[in-house]
Amino acid sequence: MSTETDAPDPRFSGLPGRPGKIVAVHLSYASRADQRGRRPADPSYFFKPSSSVAASGASIERPAGTELLAFEGEIALVIGTPARRVALADAWSHVAWVTAANDFGLYDLRANDKGSNVRSKGGDGFTPIGPTLLEAQAIDPTALRLRTWVNGALVQDDTTGGLIFPLAQFVADLSQHFTLEPGDVILTGTPAGSSVVGPGDVVEVEVDVPGGPASGRLVTTVVEGPDAAFDASLGSLPAVDDVQRAEAWGSQAAVPPQPAGLDPALRAKLERTPVAGLSQQLRKRGLNNVTIDGVRALTHGSKIVGTAKTLRFVPNREDLFASHGGGYNAQKRAFDAVGEGEVIVIEARGEAGSGTLGDVLAIRAHARRAAGIVTDGGVRDAAAVASVGIPVFAGGAHPAVLGRKHVPWDLDVTIGCGGTTVQPGDIIVGDGDGVVVIPPGFAEEVADAALAQEDEDAWIAARVAEGHPVDGLFPMNAEWRAKYEEARR
């Protein structure tokens, strides 16, 4: 008697069954190694969960708020007989089948996994395999070809002749450490040509012997994932920088130009949204540690909206100040390089016992059309800085020069300012209540929700002004909610 649970799982239709292990090779093709600027002396590996397997024709979700979903066409080896401490000469005999695979990775999560790739490559649907298994013992493993197409254009074309290590070596090497069991899969690395794809793109991978058998095309369509995909209270959020962009796209030259500053429509929303409302909406989404504490506007009524350009100071040490504090140091480079619509955010460790900028640098930032400056340290020549006309939020005023407490160290790196982490490109919004940091992927959603809440709060305030008690009105019960919805209509 069959039951619904007896039906085969369609995810594994390109395999003999659900694999017990999926082992992937980090770097294996000479073309990819040359692209990365490093060639490994030995293979290195990471694991992927079997829950990440998908069949040909399935879709893959790019989580909302992320940008760097990259494909990697690969040859997959499927183990047929147990392999434990096998010699290189015998290793290929333990491979039963060969097929196509796509080792998708989300580079937005890659930096925090430090090579393990647990989250960046372990997502559901991130390992399409299939569609047809080729008999490994009928194939010369040195004569295989791997090709990948994106939207019909050929983007990867290499052979196993381009491997740094022969396919059999992966089997022999891994078998030194644990038993490879029937059904286990080895993903053997990708050649040059791997790059970024987005919603609507169709990626196809095929493995074949030219003029001989072929796996057929493994087809995957990229779709946009649901909103609120990650909870900051549980783990690190997606983040990108120039290094991750270059590696995801294949090279720095391949990275498309990044948009300058904020989208004007989003900027307009944020300019009319109070920081308190943004903070509330971020908290609802699990982001509690996004306020830059201890800073206040030098000029009453200042509003600041822009993307972060970061500058980091370290505690003063005389020898380090001698090597890094003078000349064209990181502080001066940051103020010379800040772009229109950017906010210079300075990590001064909350040390306000000396200035972190003065009027000359404020003038320079204003001339560069920067959106503002935020520092959890002090400001020198505070009255003059305030008169420049650029919004400045600081930990206070102090007459001492920079070198009393700080060494300008580096720029365009992840920093800590006022107790919160700030990455280059994060969205900074400040007003009389303080300064908040918004991850770019959340900005539109948070701004819309905060503005909607502002409208609701204004309506409630008007009812209270008419004499209604707050009980049942703030927050609204069902009766008041119905009245509010009717008023909106």
Beta bridge partners of 309: 344
Q: Is the pLDDT reported for residue 294 higher than 50?
A: yes
Using the structure block, give the residue that is written with the tokens 């294949």.
250
Q: What is the CATH number of domain 264-444?
A: 3.50.30.40
> Amino acid identity of 360?
V
| Residue 2 confidence (pLDDT) | 40
Instruction: Give the H/E segment covering residue 14.
Output: none
**Residue ranges matching CATH 3.90.850.10 in the chain:** 8-254
| Helix/strand/coil for 277 | helix
| Residue 111 confidence (pLDDT) | 77
Is the pTM value of this prediction over 0.75?
no
Q: Is the pLDDT reported for residue 464 higher than 50?
A: yes
224: left (phi over 0), alpha (psi -120 to 50) or beta: beta
Poorest-pLDDT segment among 82-86, 289-293, 461-465: 461-465
| Residue 475 confidence (pLDDT) | 82
Residue 403 Cα distances to 317, 319, 331, 346, 393, angstroms: 9, 12, 12, 15, 21
In the chain, the percentage of residues whose pLDDT exceeds 70 is: 96
> Amino acid identity of 307?
T
On whether the CB atoms of residues 53 and 127 are closer than 8 A, the answer is yes
| Sign of the C-alpha dihedral computed for residues 408, 409, 412 and 415 taken in this order | negative
Q: Which position has the higher pLDDT, 222 or 478?
A: 222
d(C-alpha 109, C-alpha 203), whole Å: 21
d(C-alpha 301, C-alpha 430), whole Å: 10
Instruction: Give the H/E segment covering residue 347.
Output: strand 342-347
Per residue in 83-140, pLDDT (tens digit) is 999 999 999 999 999 999 999 999 988 877 878 999 999 999 999 999 999 999 999 9
Instruction: Give the H/E segment covering residue 453.
Output: helix 443-465
Q: Is the pLDDT reported for residue 478 higher than 90?
A: no
| Residue 1 confidence (pLDDT) | 38
Cβ neighbours for 87, distance < 8 A, ≥ 6 positions apart = 172
**Residue ranges matching CATH 3.50.30.40 in the chain:** 264-444
- How is residue 72 written in tokens? 């990697």
CATH class of 8-254: alpha beta
CB atoms within 10 A of CB 300: 8
| Residue 232 confidence (pLDDT) | 59
Q: How confident is the model at residue 274 (pLDDT cuts 50, 70, 90)?
A: very high
Q: How confident is the model at residue 235 (pLDDT cuts 50, 70, 90)?
A: confident
| Residue 259 confidence (pLDDT) | 53
CB atoms within 10 A of CB 415: 24
d(C-alpha 331, C-alpha 333), whole Å: 5
Cβ neighbours for 399, distance < 8 A, ≥ 6 positions apart = 355, 380
Per residue in 124-156, pLDDT (tens digit) is 999 999 999 999 999 999 999 999 999 999 999
